[in-house]
Amino acid sequence: MAHTEIISGIDIGSSKVRVVSLQRLKNGLIQVVGAAEADMEGVSKGTIKSIDEAVSSISNCLEKSERMIGLPIESAVIGISGSHIISQPSKGVVAVAKANGEIQEDDVSRVIEAAQAVATPPNYEILHIIPFDFNVDSQDKIKDPIGMTGVRLEVNAKIILGLTSQIRNLTTCIYRTGVDIADLVFSILANAESTLTKKQKELGVALVNIGAATTSLIVYEEGNILQAKILPIGANHITNDLAIGLRTHTAVAEMVKLEYGQALARDISKRDEIDLADLAETEQKGTMISLKYVAEIIQARCEEILDLVNAELRSINRDGLLPAGIVITGGGAKLPQLIELAKKKLGLPAFLGYPLEINSAIDKVNDPEYTQALGLAIWGMKQSGSKKSLRDNPFSSTNQTVRRVRDWFSSLLP
């Protein structure tokens, strides 16, 4: 294993689990060497409801991936998501250690640790602490204070927290598959690694990942995270609406959505119809449904998701004000006309998010559904590739819960 450094990312969603493995080539480029997906059981709205079912789904996906790579996956970067994740601002202040007042790397470490000492809500655990900017004495908005001179160093940071029980359940699932956890990362944060450019993050951009049960949102400006949020609606809600509206089974509704669904109803003729019996034998012959009606149901739910996104942008005074617009990824992003609807509803440029500059012979990775798993693997590559400065490393430094679960599992092994 030593001669080929392979790093994997595991994205555990409510409907699918995906694994992407990357390898660093001798010329420094990164290549995708494996990608697999499997149906996910035992997870609902991003939270684990059955450990046994989740373990078997993840193991199934890992096996597919390992067959593709030809090597066992020993450790991976794991994405964590779900409506239990919250973020809050934090500050830390320390005195500069050196007598001559020069700020060193360990001063920055100490001030970030001080910001970490905030009162976390009960039963929550810090996943990431992300420094925005630093103040040295009375000079503010400094990006990197190392080498500067001062007496007092202050940091403004954002802290991302997850429910301890959920972190523990997730890590238990992973350890039971026999994989070690290299890092635990808030999924949408890693997703930004694979889909957003540095320039977009500087200008101001929102990344929206429409999953099956939830929609994740992260907003950047001047390279900093302004907002990170999980919204409780996803693509499955569209399927459920269709099942109710068309009085059919959810499996048939899902087929209608994938084959004929559109996020804008205006261009569809009222005369366009399909027979549900053509899609499923369970339906009666001559069960005609209007495609315009299908699109109207889908459009209503998509507008609701976009309204929630806009409400979050409004809460940070960025509605209609992000020059790099909105990038939409995830399985739900592929709905025809969704980008047009997003432009109209949000008054912003909107794009479908694809993986950036990645070297891959595996076509399926070049898809909005894979950006999250790929982002997790890229995150792992960046952490292992070099000892990055503290600014570039939003520490998730495999937190205490993960370490506790790992130690507990180790103690069970013969």
What is the residue extent of each domain of the chain?
A: 86-163, 197-354
Position 337 pLDDT exceeds 60 = yes
Position 361 pLDDT exceeds 90 = no
302 confidence band (pLDDT: 50, 70, 90): very high
13 confidence band (pLDDT: 50, 70, 90): very high
So what's the pLDDT on residue 399?
64
CB neighbour list of residue 403: distance below 8 Å, 6 or more residues apart = none
So what's the pLDDT on residue 387?
47
Distance of CA 185 to the CA centre of its chain: 8
Is the pTM above the cut of 0.85?
yes
Q: In this prediction, what percent of the chain has a pLDDT beyond 70?
A: 94
Number of helices followed by number of strands (H, E) in the chain: 11, 19
pLDDT tens-place string over residues 38-59: 999 999 887 899 999 999 999 9
* Phi, psi (rounded to 5 degrees) for 253: -60, -40
Q: Taking the CA atoms of the chain, what radius of gyration do you get in angstroms?
A: 23
So what's the pLDDT on residue 213?
93
CB neighbour list of residue 412: distance below 8 Å, 6 or more residues apart = none
pLDDT tens-place string over residues 132-159: 899 999 899 898 999 999 999 999 999 9
Q: What is the mean pLDDT of residues 301-330?
A: 97
User: Hey, is 260 helix, strand or coil?
Assistant: helix
Q: Which of 117-131, 185-199, 311-325 has the lowest mean pLDDT?
A: 117-131
- At the topology level of CATH, where does 86-163 sit? Dna Ligase; domain 1 (3.30.1490)
391 confidence band (pLDDT: 50, 70, 90): very low
So what's the pLDDT on residue 398?
52
Domain 197-354 CATH assignment equals 3.40.50.360: no
Position 395 pLDDT exceeds 60 = no
Q: Round to whole Å and give the CA distance between 29 and 10.
A: 21
CB neighbour list of residue 407: distance below 8 Å, 6 or more residues apart = none
| DSSP character string of 3-33 | TS-EEEEEEE-SSEEEEEEEEE-TTS-EEEE
282 confidence band (pLDDT: 50, 70, 90): confident
Q: H or E stretch including 350?
A: strand 350-352
C-beta separation of 380 from 341 below 8 A: no
Q: How many CB atoms lie within 10 A of CB 1?
A: 8
Terminal alpha carbon distance of the chain? 24
So what's the pLDDT on residue 260?
96
Q: Round to whole Å and give the CA distance between 247 and 378.
A: 43
| H-assigned helices in 204-290 | 235-245, 250-260
Position 170 pLDDT exceeds 70 = yes
Round the average pLDDT of the chain to a whole number and report it. Answer: 91
So what's the pLDDT on residue 414?
59
So what's the pLDDT on residue 389?
45
Crossing angle, helix 164-176 and helix 400-412, to 10 degrees? 40
So what's the pLDDT on residue 4?
63
